[in-house]
Amino acid sequence: MSTVHRSPDSRSRPIAIDLFAGAGGLSLGFEQAGFDVVAAVEYDPVHAATHLFNLPSCEVLCRDVANLSAETLLQAARAGFRKLHPRRQWPGQVDAIIGGPPCQGFSAGGKREEDDSRNQLLLHFVRLVEEVRPRALCLENVAGLLETRFDRVREEAFGRLRAAGYRLSGDESPLNCLDFGVPQSRRRVVILGILEAPAPTLVTVDYRPSVEDAFEGLPSPLKYATLLQSDEVKLDEDDIRRRQCIRNSYARQLAGLDPLSDDKSRLRRWDPAIITGARRTVHTEATIARFAATAPGSVEPKSRLYRLPSHGPSRTLRAGTGSERGAHTSPRPIHPEEDRVITVREAARLHGYPDWFRFHTTNWHGHRQIGNSVPPPLARAAAHALLVALQRRPMRLRAAVPLGEVSLLHLSRKEAQPIFNALTSEIPKARARKTVEAVTVA
C-alpha cells in the first residue's frame, strides 16, 4: 500500500500515528510540537485506556502490531482525524509514523537475548512504514539496540528503511535525555527518517534541571491519609500556596503556571488544586530506618534501592516487567529528603510529564507506564527536528479540551479489554506478580 504525497499547507498540523504507544509519552511530545496524533496502537488494554484518557480524540487500537495491517492502521488514522477535525476532509496521507518497539530484548535491564521474540517487533515497525509510506518516521529505543550482537536485526531494519527512500539520522550513537532538559540520565537511541530531504538532526538544550527542581511545589504524600487508598487528593491551602510559588521554570511549566516554549498542544481542562498520582507506599519501620541511613546518591544495601540526590539528575527510571513476564516491580528510587520511595507523580516530574497528565491509579501500573515511556521533552525535540525537515510550522491551538473519563484509569486488564474489543489472543497473558521487599503497597 502506498500513499500519494501532496504539498501540504506549511501552517497545517502534520498527521502522526504512534505504534507501541504505551501511556502516551511520545504522542504527547509530538502533540506539543504541533503534530496531530490521530491514531495509536498499544496491545496492553490498561495502557491503551490510559492513553485514551489523556488523548481522548486519538483513535486507540488495542492490537498486537505484529498482526496489524496497513489498511486497518489507516482506517484508524482516518477515524482519529474525523474526531479532531469533523468538518475537514481526510488529506489522504500520513506525515509521520512514530514509536518505540518493546526494548526488553535490547535493554541492559533485560537479558539482552538476540533471539528475543520482541526484537522482531522492530521489523514490524519497518513493515508498516514501508506499506504506509509516511513522509517521516521516528523510532525510539534503548542504547543497547546499537550493540554488535544486534547487528543482524538492526541492519535489516535500517537497510529496509533506506531502501524505501528514507534518509536516517541517529543510528551512530545513543543520546542522553539530560541534553534535552530531562532531570534523568537516560541513554536512548532516536532514529529519525525523512523522504526526499536531508536527514533530520535533534537540537539539545543547555538547561539541566535537578531532582530538587523537578519536585518543587509537590506536596508530601505523608500528610494526606486519603492517599493510602487513593492516588489523588485536594491540596490544603498551604500546599496550594507552595505550588503557586514555584520558582524554577521546569517545575512551573509542568505545574501549568507557565507555558512551555512554543507549545502547540491542545490545552487540557484540569484542576491544579488536586494532586494525582500520589498514592502512598507503606514501608515497615525497619525499611524506613534503612532508608534514613542511606545517603543521597547511594544505594541502600538490602533493598538495593537508590536514593536520589537533590542537586543532580535521577538515574534511569525503570519499568520492571509486564504481567506476561512475571510482573516484577521495578525498583523505585528513594526520595532525597523523606524516607520513602517516590510517588508516581514525582516519577512523572522526573520524566517531563505535565501535572495534568494522569496514569493508572495503582502504583505498579503507574510506575511501569512511566518507566516504559519516552520522556515528552525528548519526544518534543524529535518532533521539532522532523518539522524542520518537513518545512512545516504548524499553528498554535488556543481552545482547551477535556480529558477522558476518570474510570479509564481504574480498570484492570480484564475490565479494559472489552472497551477496545481487544482480542484475547493478542493481549499479554498474566503471570504471578513479584514485588520488591521494601516497597509493599497498601
Residues 300, 347 within the same domain = yes
Give CA separation, 387 vs 201, 315, 354, in Å: 11, 30, 22
Q: Residues 282, 337: one domain?
A: yes
Within-domain flag for 27:
yes
| pLDDT lower than 50: segments of the chain | 2, 4, 110, 112, 322, 324-327, 432, 435-442
Active site residue 62: no
Q: Which residue has the cell 505484529?
A: 66
Cell representation of residue 81: 482525524
Which residues sit opposite 98 in a β-bridge? Answer: 18, 138
| Backbone φ/ψ region at 129: left (φ over 0), alpha (ψ -120 to 50), beta | alpha
How far apart (Å, rounded) are the C-alpha atoms in residues 61 and 43?
8
Note whether residue 386 is domain-resident.
yes
Is 184 part of any domain?
Answer: yes
pLDDT at 439: 41
Clarify whether residues 243 and 334 are in a common domain. Answer: yes
| pLDDT at residue 438, as a whole number | 39
pLDDT for res 428: 81
Does a structural domain hold residue 298? yes
Q: Are 84 and 36 in contact (CB under 8 A)?
A: yes
Q: Which of 62, 103, 138, 177 is catalytic?
A: 103
Q: How far is CA 90 from CA 14, 93, 145, 186, 303, in A?
A: 12, 8, 36, 38, 54
94 and 30 housed in the same domain? yes
Domain match, 113 and 227 both? no
Query: How far is residue 241's CA from residue 196's CA, in Å, rounded to a whole number?
Result: 52
Summarize pLDDT for 112-154 with one digit per residue, the tens. 455 555 578 999 999 999 999 999 999 999 999 999 999 999 9
439 lies in some domain: no
CATH number for the domain that contains residue 334: 3.90.120.10
* CA pair distance 131, 70, nearest whole angstrom: 6
Q: Are residues 252 and 351 in the same domain?
A: yes
Residue 437 lies in a domain: no
Beta-ladder partners of 434: 328
pTM summary value: 0.92
pLDDT value of position 320: 66
CA within 13 Å, CB half, 190? 27
Give me the pLDDT at residue 330, please.
75
**Statement to judge: residues 156 and 58 lie in one domain:** yes
pLDDT of residue 266: 93
Q: Do 243 and 360 belong together in one domain?
A: yes
Q: What letter represents residue 279's amino acid?
A: R
Could you tell me how many helices (H) and strands (E) the chain has, helices first? 13, 12
Domain limits for position 128: 15-205+375-419
Q: CATH number, domain at 152?
A: 3.40.50.150
At 367-397, the pLDDT tens digits run 999 999 999 999 999 999 999 999 999 988 8
**Are 171 and 36 found together in one domain?**
yes
Both 35 and 170 in a single domain? yes
pLDDT of residue 295: 98
Within a domain: 6: no
Cell representation of residue 113: 537475548
Q: Total domain count for the chain?
A: 2
In terms of domains, do 236 and 344 share one?
yes
